């Protein structure tokens, strides 16, 4: 059997390696139009920022080493320009010699990836760059180090845009601006949780422009960037607007492609409309495990999993791909942000019966030195408690907590399952009741009617009603450092003795720092005949929202 693989890195190279481990006799040809077939794509911003010092550290395998280890015919600087499905042949162009030739196949694997979106290709300027390849990162790094520039503008505030901002901040002479068309950075994140990201970036001197897209860039001594609202100038621009799947080759071959995203359509076995042609990675759309609808999720983790499945299916070890839930994590200066599953916009679009909750427990036992606050936002089915998605922010333990919640989302677990999880505990690592257990407890309390919750955005609407009052149950020391406007203040430990100060014709929205003490207050008040709701996230979250 002869297999041709288009593209390397997480998709193509992983497919080739797995395929060789399964079948020593299969002939494998890997075609890549770049210079490298296996490099740390996700490490490129860190090379630009000098965190990764040497270019060689990005290269996981060279064409020569890959060939020696896996006996794969690796052809770099070559590109497949046409697929002939009826003849089971491809036309390949050597990008250096311009020579074209045909190659037959039994199975064809498409892993061409995605290209950065660049609306300004008409500007042939060294001052405007995208980041996709090792060569791109080298050019950006050398230009910043060797040119006398002061102002760098990053257009697009997704994962790469934010990572680039952090890494460019290592060059202390640079003024860095992120321009984002939407209302917040990192689009998969909910807007309220994005406030943590904005605060941390601004704390490190990064300028953020929101709700303002870029219309045009004109080159002069400086780049003049015309925004939807206003004009800014910059010495250098990095485009991090997003990526576009490379589905053109598949489309021209008559394979099915998503009209909107131009991603290649595959079935659960990673096969295209032509059963001898597979596709994977950033070039395809897949099924979301929760909504069971097609989604475009260009992430390295799913690509590696898809590669293994493609190789298995080629040799007859039939295995379906069970979809993706979009788990991801990013480092933002001293903090980490992780996400899994659906966000609020997706829940609303799918018309899911959902509710959100925000808790802020400690990363480990509070009495052990160094405990840090972690903020967890979870979305769940308000009847069954099924976990739809989660977003986690903090300095430590973020990856651990979000990984557990990713399993919960993937396996369609509920809050009742989170309550009973037996997780590792010792004071330096967690609390006896882990943050995940606390999350489960909090959701179950809501489902079972022990407390009702509202978000701060709902508070802003509710307080317009005459019968609504805000109750602060923090300590006197906390209260004097700042409180919600016109909030009634009764510390939790005094509440039972001061119930007569409250009016049972009113409804009280109660908060403490993070939500735990206010939950206790709600239980006291509810059992004494008061109408109450707990403000999820507490004053800690409110203070972030209003920085």
One domain, residues 274 and 338 = no
In a domain, 41, yes or no: yes
C-alpha distances (whole Å) from 114 to each of 20, 25, 67, 263 are 25, 31, 25, 9
Domain membership of residue 441 (yes or no) is yes
pTM: 0.93
Is 122 within the bounds of a domain? Answer: no
CATH of the domain at 48: 3.50.50.60
What is residue 272's predicted lDDT score, i.e. its pLDDT? 97
CA–CA distance from 438 to each of 192, 249, 444 (Å)? 21, 50, 10
pLDDT of residue 296: 92
The reply to whether 436 and 531 lie within a common domain is no
**Nearest Cα residue to 276 out of 501, 88, 131, 450:** 88
Helix count (H) and strand count (E) of the chain? 16, 33
- Identify the domain boundary among 241, 276, 292: 241
What's the domain count of the chain? 4
Same domain, 533 and 470: yes
Residue-by-residue pLDDT tens, the chain, 547 positions: 999 999 988 899 999 999 999 999 999 999 999 888 878 888 999 999 999 988 888 887 888 989 999 999 999 999 999 999 999 999 999 999 999 999 999 999 999 999 999 999 888 899 999 998 889 999 999 999 989 899 999 999 999 999 999 999 999 889 999 999 999 999 999 999 999 999 999 999 999 999 999 999 999 889 999 999 999 999 999 999 999 999 999 999 999 999 888 999 999 999 999 999 999 999 999 999 999 999 999 988 999 999 999 999 999 999 999 999 999 999 999 999 999 999 999 999 999 999 999 999 999 999 999 999 999 999 999 999 999 999 999 999 999 999 999 999 999 999 999 999 999 999 999 999 999 999 999 999 999 999 999 999 999 899 999 999 999 999 999 999 999 999 999 999 999 999 999 999 999 999 999 999 999 999 999 999 999 999 999 999 999 998 7
* Residue 162 in domain: yes
390 and 357 fall within a common domain: yes
Whether 384 maps to a domain, the answer reads yes
Q: Active-site residue among 42, 240, 402, 522?
A: 42
Host domain of residue 172: 128-241
- pLDDT tens readout for residues 397-426: 999 999 999 999 999 999 999 999 999 999
Let me know whether 511 and 442 are in one domain: no
For position 173, what pLDDT does the model report? 87
Please tell me the distance from the alpha carbon of residue 324 to that of residue 340, in angstroms, as a whole number.
10
**Alpha-carbon gap, residue 311 to 139, rounded angstroms:** 35
Is 390 a member of any domain?
yes
pLDDT score for 360: 95
Cα separations (Å) of 290 from 209, 259, 261, 306, 413?
Answer: 33, 23, 20, 18, 11
List the CATH number of the domain containing 511. 3.40.250.10
42 is catalytic: yes
pLDDT, position 57? 85
Q: What is the distance in angstroms between the CA of the first residue and the CA of the last residue of the chain?
A: 62
- Asked whether the beta carbons of 522 and 506 are under 8 A apart, the reply is no
Say yes or no: 250 and 111 in one domain: yes
For residues 296 and 338, is the Cβ–Cβ distance under 8 A? no
Average pLDDT of the chain, as a whole number: 95
């Amino acid at each position: 059997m002869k297999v041709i693989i288009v593209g390397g890195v997480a998709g193509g190279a992983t497919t080739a390696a797995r395929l060789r481990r399964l079948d020593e006799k299969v002939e494998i040809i890997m075609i890549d139009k770049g210079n490298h077939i296996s490099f740390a794509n996700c490490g490129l911003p860190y090379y630009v920022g000098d965190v990764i010092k040497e270019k060689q550290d990005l290269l996981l395998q060279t064409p020569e080493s890959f060939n020696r280890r896996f006996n794969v015919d690796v052809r770099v600087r070559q590109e497949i320009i046409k697929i002939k499905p009826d003849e089971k042949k491809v036309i390949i162009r050597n990008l250096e010699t311009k020579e074209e030739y045909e190659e037959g196949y039994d199975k064809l694997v498409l892993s061409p990836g995605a290209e950065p979106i660049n609306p300004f290709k008409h500007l042939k300027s060294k001052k405007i760059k995208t980041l996709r390849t090792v060569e791109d990162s080298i050019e950006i790094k050398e230009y910043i180090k060797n040119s006398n520039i002061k102002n760098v503008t990053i257009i697009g505030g997704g994962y790469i845009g934010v990572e680039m901002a952090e890494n460019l901040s290592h060059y202390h002479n640079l003024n860095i601006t992120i321009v984002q068309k939407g209302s917040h950075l990192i689009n998969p994140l909910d807007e309220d949780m994005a406030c943590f990201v904005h605060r941390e970036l601004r704390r490190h001197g990064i300028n953020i422009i929101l709700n303002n897209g870029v219309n045009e860039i004109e080159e002069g001594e400086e780049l003049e960037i015309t925004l939807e609202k206003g004009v800014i100038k910059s010495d250098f621009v990095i485009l991090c607007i997003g990526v576009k799947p490379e589905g053109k080759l598949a489309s021209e071959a008559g394979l099915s492609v998503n009209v909107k995203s131009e991603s290649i359509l595959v079935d659960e076995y990673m096969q295209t409309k032509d059963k001898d042609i597979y596709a994977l990675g950033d070039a395809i759309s897949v099924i979301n495990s929760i909504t069971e609808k097609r989604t475009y999720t260009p992430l390295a983790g799913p690509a590696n999993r898809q590669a293994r499945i493609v190789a298995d299916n080629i040799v007859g070890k039939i295995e379906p791909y069970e979809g993706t839930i979009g788990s991801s994590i990013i480092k933002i200066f001293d903090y980490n942000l992780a996400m899994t599953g659906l966000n609020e916009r997706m829940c609303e679009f799918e018309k899911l019966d959902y509710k959100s909750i925000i808790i802020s427990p400690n990363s480990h036992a509070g009495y052990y030195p160094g405990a840090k606050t972690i903020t967890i936002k979870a979305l769940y089915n308000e009847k069954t408690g099924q976990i739809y998605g989660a977003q986690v922010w903090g300095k430590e333990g973020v990856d651990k907590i979000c990984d557990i919640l990713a399993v919960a989302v993937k396996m369609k677990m509920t809050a009742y399952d989170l309550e009973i999880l037996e997780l590792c505990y010792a004071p330096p690592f967690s609390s006896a009741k882990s943050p995940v257990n606390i999350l489960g407890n909090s959701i179950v309390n809501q489902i079972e009617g022990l407390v009702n919750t509202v978000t701060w955005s709902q508070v802003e609407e509710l307080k317009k009603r005459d019968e609504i009052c805000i109750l602060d149950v923090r300590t006197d020391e906390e209260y004097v450092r700042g409180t919600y406007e016109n909030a009634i203040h009764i510390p939790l430990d005094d509440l039972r003795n001061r119930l007569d100060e409250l009016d049972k014709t009113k409804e009280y929205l109660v908060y403490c720092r993070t939500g735990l003490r206010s939950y206790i207050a709600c239980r006291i008040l509810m059992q004494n005949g008061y109408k109450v709701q707990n403000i999820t996230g507490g004053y800690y979250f409110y203070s972030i929202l209003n920085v």
